[in-house]
Amino acid sequence: MARKWLPSLCILIVIVLAMVLLLADLRLKGSILEIAQSEAQLKAVEMVNQAVNDKIVAETDYRDIVYIHKDENGRIVMIQANTVILNQIMAKTIKEVIASLNGLEAQTISVPLGQVTGSIFLAAYGPKLSVKIIPAKQVTVEVENKFEQAGINQTRHLIYFKINSRIKIAVPLVDKDVEISTTIPLADTIIVGAVPDTYLNFTAPGETLAPLLKK
């Protein structure tokens, strides 16, 4: 009688073991993804910052993107955004960010399984699991600014980009979306005298250009 149930028992044991191993594997990969997330974010932000600083910021001057209007006494009375140039710069920025993130697609992150233990002694040991980085094609760029006191009767006007995107990190059977966000100064100047009360055209049609003036 016992022999009759033996094949069924063996099959049941195999199924249970397979399920346990599968669940353990999924939990292990989930832990690996958590560890890889910070490394992927750091790598992506570094590449985006470098691309934007080299290709955009280095070629942009404050007077390229704003008009400064003065009265007959030389006092600044109005700051007006050059929305045409600003939108062109933003479009170029989006293109450069996408290109830089696409460079991540050929890269992988190798995470030693020893890091899962949380031990600093075992972190560098064990088999390495490769985590693939898949960049998204959607990038949003918001333009913001702020004013800072820079001395007696002097104000610093800083214009900067806030860039957001998304990448996916994946191991077999498991993946995770990761938000990428970075803020990069675009241009700035020192305003001597009182800050003007009038600011024009610091918004543009559509979703490409966000409100610029934020005190």
The string of pLDDT tens digits covering residues 18-45 is: 665 555 455 566 667 777 788 888 889 9
Say if 213 falls within a structural domain.
no
Closest CA to 48 of 106, 99, 109: 99
Angle between the 2-55 and 83-102 helix axes, to the nearest 10 degrees?
Answer: 140
H helices present in the chain, as ranges: 2-55, 62-65, 83-102
Say if 42 falls within a structural domain.
yes
Say if 207 falls within a structural domain.
no
pLDDT bracket for residue 49 (50, 70, 90): very high
Q: Distance between CA 183 and CA 180 in Å, rounded?
A: 11
Q: CA-based angle 126:130:131, to the nearest 5?
A: 130
Closest CA to 67 of 192, 214, 189, 155: 189
The pLDDT, as a whole number, for residue 209 is: 31
Say if 3 falls within a structural domain.
no
Say if 128 falls within a structural domain.
yes
The pLDDT, as a whole number, for residue 184 is: 94
Say if 114 falls within a structural domain.
yes
Say if 93 falls within a structural domain.
yes
pLDDT above 50: residue 111? yes
Range of the domain at 105: 8-200
Say if 58 falls within a structural domain.
yes
Segment 157-208, tens digit of pLDDT: 888 899 999 998 887 667 888 899 999 999 888 877 665 554 544 544 333 3
Please tell me the total count of domains within the chain. 1
The pTM score is: 0.69
